[in-house]
Amino acid sequence: MPVDTKDARPVVLAVVIFTVADAFLHFLLEGLGIVEGVPFPSYYVNKLVFGTLIALVILWFWVRAGYPSFGLSRVSFLSWATILLLQVRYAYQGYSGLFHLIFIPAHFAALYYSLKYARVRL
């Protein structure tokens, strides 16, 4: 079962919206002194590239598997799977535990609502 471009386009749009929302959140939290500086623009370019690739690969495997959602809504499942794989990548790059504690829920919320806004139909 192939992934149709009508499935992929909203996911790409959602990752772009997610990255913009994430940039706003990072700048806000840096201004409050909660997190230290995030390397700009490499962090956001990497988030666009790897977030899009991860989401599309998950979508491809997921469609082929018949959309198992493990008790979550489909948008929630795609959001959690993408965010957790991004966090593994950030852990490998050496981001602190505090970064993960703060940004896993924030990244999930940003991607979840970006997928909803982009009207991803799963």
Taking only the tens place, the pLDDT of each residue in 22-32 is 888 777 777 65
pTM (2 d.p.) = 0.75
* Domain assignment present for 67: yes
In this prediction, residue 34 carries a pLDDT of 53
Which tokens hold the place of 83?
């965010």
In this prediction, residue 102 carries a pLDDT of 80
Closest listed residue to residue 22, CA positions, set 119, 67, 87: 87
* Domain assignment present for 122: no
Q: Domain range spanning residue 76?
A: 5-117
Residue 94 has pLDDT above 80, yes or no: yes
Q: Please count the structural domains in the chain.
A: 1
If one compares 31 and 96, the residue with the highest pLDDT of the two is: 96
Residue 54 has pLDDT above 80, yes or no: yes
* Domain assignment present for 53: yes
What contacts 16, CB < 8 A, 6 or more positions away? Answer: 48
Which tokens hold the place of 82?
């993408």
Neighbours of 65 (CB within 10 A): 9
Residue 3: pLDDT band by 50, 70, 90 thresholds?
Answer: low
* Domain assignment present for 60: yes
Closest listed residue to residue 15, CA positions, set 65, 105, 86, 88: 86
The rounded percent of the chain whose pLDDT value lies above 90 is: 0
In this prediction, residue 47 carries a pLDDT of 84
* Domain assignment present for 85: yes
Question: What's the whole-number mean pLDDT along residues 39-62?
Answer: 83
